[in-house]
Chain A
Amino acid sequence: SQTIHQWPATLVQPVGSPLSLECTVEGTSNPNLYWYRQAAGRGLQLLFYSVGIGQISSEVPQNLSASRPQDRQFILSSKKLLLSDSGFYLCAWSLGREQYFGPGTRLTVT
């Protein structure tokens, strides 16, 4: 069966520091991969999605970037965090119509 991992689970970072969040999927090949952000008490904001290695589509211009160095690995990065980057970051994958989510990373920028 398929499994999706995210780490770290929680992260506290100062403003201006770099960020790297990792997501990996097991048990499937060539999935579509997604990064979402969820602000406190809010809905989901799609940040990036990827339909293949090296293919990244950005939905929201901001100081975040994404990379897909391997088929089942999706990384979210920032060179300098802002206070507004705080939130709950969710990775997801899909192959057919269903989309499956990871456990999330809670990021607090101080």
Chain B
Amino acid sequence: GNSVTQMEGPVTLSEEAFLTINCTYTATGYPSLFWYVQYPGEGLQLLLKATKADDKGSNKGFEATYRKETTSFHLEKGSVQVSDSAVYFCALVKGGTYKYIFGTGTRLKVLA
């Protein structure tokens, strides 16, 4: 079946450090891929998306590239800020279905 695997957290970085959060997926065909962010006590917010191979989603300095050959969608940011501290979820949905598959989430803590 379809699945999403994220790196275990928490990830602790100093401000202005480079961020990578790994995400790999298992799915047949060409799913759409997403990153969501959840701040404490809030719902999930869509951060970025990619709908086909080699697409790069980007938003607020975050980027992720849809890699079909490695079935990956790693999240990166060149310089993190304290305000980026949150839980990040990788997710996929297959075309023609209604069920989204989420990873378990990765907690990021950025220290000043």
Contact = CB atoms under 8 A, between A and B. Distances in A.
Interface of A: 32, 34, 42-44, 46, 49, 51, 59, 90, 92, 94, 97-104, 106
B88 to A, nearest CB: 12
Contacts of B98: 32, 49, 51, 94
B45 interface: yes
Interface residues of B, number: 22
Interface of B: 32, 34, 36, 41-46, 49, 51, 89, 91, 93, 95, 98-100, 102-105
A40 to B, nearest CB: 12
A21 to B, nearest CB: 13
Q: Closest 10 CB pairs between A and B?
A: A101-B43, A43-B104, A101-B44, A97-B32, A44-B102, A104-B43, A103-B43, A43-B105, A32-B98, A102-B43
A101 B46 CA distance: 8
Contact of A43 (B42, B45, B103): B103
Which secondary structure dominates where chain A touches chain B? strand
